[in-house]
Amino acid sequence: MAIPVIDFSKLNGEERAKTLALIDKCCEEWGFFQLVNHGIPEELLERVKNVSSEFYKLEREENFKTSTPVKMLNELVESGSSGKVESVDWEDIFLLSDSNEWPSQTPGFRETMGEYRGELKNLALKVMEVMDENLGLPKGYIKKAFNGGEEDTAFFGTKVSHYPPCPHPEMVNGLRAHTDAGGVVLLFQDDQVHGLQILKDGEWIDVQPMKNSIVINTGDQIEVLSNGRYKSVWHRVLALRDGNRRSVASFYNPSYKATIAPAQQLVEKSNKEANQHYPRFVFGDYMSVYTEQKFLPKEPRFQAVKAK
Ligand SMILES: O=C(O)CCC(=O)C(=O)O
């Protein structure tokens, strides 16, 4: 079984209706799909790959050797245990946002990633408009909901991750299973080294590496806005003995101040209370709960913010 692949350029032609329907089906049944012909220049994607790898080598690799996951795994191996390190992930991450300080030693990193983030933010907005249309919501509904009614206060972050080779992949996770907290995630994953898997009908399946595709997945807030029609899906990254997997994930998330609730158009009119499957809450409150419970089932998180 492979994650569906969608030609995004077909939205602009004769096959628009068919493509919209395909994306709708992917959002409903998969929570994950890969976009090709998405409009991000290949030349830019090649540069992103190069500067991300260079950045890891120059500014991260040495520190990873003495990082917490490495120390914890070594201790477990030395103790002779056959257990697993469950509280950390075998990954190196760096977050880029509009407001934090970016690495500067790697030539071209800042410029390339700045350009990439601009392109990806536009793609996120296009994907959200497709979801608006498929859900029967006014154009720009999701964007507006995430901005808390103001202009451009949503959070757009980019996480540059590496999953270095692991001597005991059976004893640690690359990234523990979770659903994403926010809105729409756009992932540019390694096209050589696999490792990302989603839980589909009770089975873990690979998100197959594909050159220069962008993997889209929906987070918990899209599940809430859509009143459960689009579900956020469990995914994880395996630690592997060989290969240093690279991924660059960009998140279009609500502003911490935004109030999130199911779109009223999607709550059946007859018995509104019973048919609204999620509470109304402030996204910042949800994030406080998520930070503590990221690797646990999502349903209690919705209950926790409901009680606030
Ligand atoms: O690195 C990946 O492929 C997935 C990352 C991820 O799931 C996350 O950052 O939440």
Tell which atom from ligand 1 comes closest to the C-alpha of 247: 1
Residue 307 is predicted with a pLDDT of 67
Mean pLDDT of the chain: 95
Residue 308 is predicted with a pLDDT of 67
> Is 80 exceeded by the pLDDT of residue 152?
no
Residue 289 domain flag = no
Length of the chain: 308
Residue 270 is predicted with a pLDDT of 67
Residue 174: give its domain's CATH number.
2.60.120.330
Residue 280 is predicted with a pLDDT of 95
Greater pLDDT, 118 or 306:
118
306 band by pLDDT with thresholds 50, 70 and 90: confident
Residue 59 domain flag = yes
* pTM summary value: 0.96
Residue 233 domain flag = yes
DSSP 242: S
Ligand 1: which of 34, 90, 93, 187 to mutate, most ligand atoms within 8 Å of CB? 187
Q: How far is the CA of 91 from the centre of ligand 1 (A)?
A: 10
271 band by pLDDT with thresholds 50, 70 and 90: confident
The total number of structural domains in the chain stands at 1
Residue 263 domain flag = no
Share above pLDDT 90 across residues of the chain, in percent, rounded to a whole number: 92
Lowest mean pLDDT among 46-55, 141-150, 265-274: 265-274
DSSP 60: I
Contact in structure between 189 and 247 (CB atoms under 8 Å): yes
Q: How far is the CA of 265 from the centre of ligand 1 (A)?
A: 32
Q: Which two tokens stand for residue 116?
A: 């990439």
**194 phi/psi in degrees, rounded to 5:** -85, -165
Give tens-digit pLDDT for 91-113.
999 999 999 999 889 999 999 99
Residue 64 domain flag = yes
> Is 80 exceeded by the pLDDT of residue 262?
yes
Tell which atom from ligand 1 comes closest to the C-alpha of 93: 9
Residue 294 domain flag = no
Q: What is the CA radius of gyration of the chain?
A: 20
Give tens-digit pLDDT for 49-59.
999 999 999 99
Residue 274 is predicted with a pLDDT of 74
> Is 70 exceeded by the pLDDT of residue 185?
yes
User: What is the C-alpha separation between 28 and 18, in angstroms, rounded?
Assistant: 15
Q: Which domain holds residue 19?
A: 5-254
Residue 280 domain flag = no
Residue 267 domain flag = no
